[in-house]
Structure formats: C-alpha cells, structure tokens
Amino acid sequence: MAITATRVVSTWVWDKPKADLIVQNEKTLQQLLIPSSVIWALRNPAFPLSVQTEFVSNLERLSGKPGIGEAVTLASTAESEEQARFLTDAVGMLVRYNDTQTPITRLIVRRAMIGRDHNGAIVVQAPVDYVSWTALVSTFAHRTDLAGSRRTIWLTGQLSPMSRENFRTLGWTVNEKVNPIPDLDEGR
C-alpha cells in the first residue's frame, strides 16, 4: 500500500505541471482543514515541491487524526531541504506504522513528529542513520509529556550503544534498522 502511494506521488511529480501540483497540495490541505495561513506558509523554499507533495500525500493518509495542523505548521518552518525530507519521511513512517502495526489516533508535534496509537503507546519514527547520546537526545528521551505509557522508537539506522542503553533504561522499546518502505512480499 505504501509502495503504491509512493509510486502515485512519483507519477504526479513527473507528469503534472508545477502549478497543478501546488493547487492539488493546497486543495488536499484545505480538505484536511488546515488554515489558509498555514497552507501559505508551507510554500517554504526549503521544501521542494516534490517533497511537499509526498508530505501532503502522507498526511492525507492520516486524515482525521488530531495534530495534522501542527504537523503542517512544523513543516512550514523547515530551514533546509534535509529538515523537510526528515519531516516527510517521519510522517511516512508513521503512516506505515498506522497501516501495518496499530492505528495512530493522534500526532503529537513539538519539534518532532510523534504518534500515539490506539493502545496509548507513544510512537517515534526517526529516519536517521545514527543517534549519539547528546544533551538534546537526553532531553527528548526524558520528556514528561511522553512519560507514563509504552514508548517505542523506530529508527532506519541505529542508536549508539550509550543511547540504546539509556533509552532502554528509561523504558523505551528500541527498534533499529527499520525499513521505511514495506517489502513487496510484506502482508502476503
């Protein structure tokens, strides 16, 4: 399903004129009840149109979940294409979790895209290669708004040994080297 969505977005980007993609993205965001001022802010030069189209398509697949507006607001503040791609991939990973693990009931957006699933678990999807234990990572791992429930972190790469140990000590379930796109045989 995720592969099909990725192929559709890729086809749109190659086959549709730029102006049509802009209008399509804006209409989709309006259907998601995103305020016009936030939609306009997403016309961020750090957010290439192809990445923006994928971001909007991923959000559409989470339609109706609280927090989508905050996700668009955060995306509009991306300062580089790398940040835009990171946010897009994180939302894509949440969509995959929603489709293959447990449905996401809300997005928690505070400098990161985090999901809460219908079992109440905190779900962090991180499209990163490697995470070292830094002051910023420690602050994230200790966030009080994420405490008190089952917490999982899914990374496309891996944690440093110290990060892995500290996350686990703090009660996080760690999943490393996660494929962000399902295998063709998955689900058969």
Pairing of strands 104-109, 172-175: unpaired
Q: Where are the beta strands (DSSP E) in the chain?
A: 104-109, 113-117, 122-126, 130-131, 151-155, 158-159, 172-175
Listed residue (59, 143, 56, 133) closest to 95, CA to CA: 59
Give this prediction's pTM: 0.83
Res 9: pLDDT: 52
Each residue's pLDDT, cut to its tens digit, for the chain (188 residues) gives 444 444 445 455 556 788 899 999 999 999 999 998 888 888 889 999 999 999 999 999 999 999 999 999 999 999 999 999 999 999 999 999 999 999 999 999 988 899 999 999 999 999 999 999 999 999 999 998 888 779 999 999 999 999 999 999 999 999 999 876 644 344 43
First vs last Cα of the chain: how many Å apart? 12
Res 13: pLDDT: 52
Q: How many CA atoms lie within 13 A of 75 on its CB side?
A: 33
Res 85: pLDDT: 94
Res 34: pLDDT: 92
Residues forming a β-bridge with 174: 153
**How far is 22 from 40, CA to CA, in rounded Å?**
11
Radius of gyration of the chain from its Cα atoms, rounded to whole angstroms: 17
Res 115: pLDDT: 95
Residues forming a β-bridge with 109: 113
Contacts of 161 (CB under 8 A, 6+ apart): none
Cβ–Cβ < 8 Å for 105, 67: no
